[in-house]
Structure formats: C-alpha cells, structure tokens
Amino acid sequence: MLAKSLVAFISVGVVSALLFGVYLESVKNTAPLFVDGPSVTILPERDVYAPGEGVAFLIVNTGTVKLYFEDSSLGWSVTDLSGIGIYKPDRGSDAQSLGPGESADMEWNQTNDSGKQVPDGIYKIVVGTPRASATVTVSR
C-alpha cells in the first residue's frame, strides 16, 4: 500500500499541473508585447488548420517607430521548419507602412509557389524586416 504522504504529493502535483496548463492556455494568445524601436509580431488566428483552409493572421507593428515595406504583402512568406521557402505572395508594387500599434490582415491559402496544396505539417509565417515568425500546423 502507498504511503499517505506519497498519495498526497502525487495529488498535489496533478492538480498543480492541471491549473498551470489552464493558466498557460489562457495567456497563450494575449495581446502582443510592445517594445522600444522597430518590432513586428505575427498573430495567427489559431494554431491548427484543416488542409485547404485559409490561414488568417495579423502582422502587427509592436514597436515604437513606423515600419516601411517595399510592397503590399509587407514582405511575408511561408517556410517549412528548416527555413526552406514554400510560398511568397504576389508582391504588388505599392509600398506600405505600419505605424506603431497598427496591423494588417493577411491570409495564406496553403499552397506552394506552384499553386499546389501543401502536405500536412508545421509551417512558419515569416516577415523579413524586422525579423519575426509564427508557427501554424496543417493537419487533418
């Protein structure tokens, strides 16, 4: 038979782990942290998407200075976890900017540069300058 103290310690550990997990889930998608200087944050609408479903995300200027981008895509692209390029959107010729706290809605249609559906997996949405990334999963 297990000692009463061992049962008590295990019970406290299980309850603590459960409460910590609930806490982490609640703070996972909170507002981005703003910093002094140039900074950008990518916020996917959620973490997991079904194949073929549009991956909606925000690009947020989380810095204190206005950011300038050479094109209307704000320089975002999609890579696999090793950094190999999967998709770059049409760049458009209009330069864009985001002031501090401003954001832009974007969407990736889960295709590669050839227009084919990407396989299930984990992908990174990346903005080059200033550097930022977010991870999303494509899964059945």
Alpha carbon distance 95, 92 (integer Å):
8
Residue 44 CA: distances (Å) to CA of 3, 16, 52: 48, 29, 16
pLDDT tens digits, 21-53: 666 565 555 566 778 888 899 999 999 999 999
pTM over 0.75: no
pLDDT tens digits, 90-103: 877 788 899 999 99
Average pLDDT of the segment spanning 1-19 = 73
Which is nearest to 73 in space by CA: 83, 53, 59, 84? 59
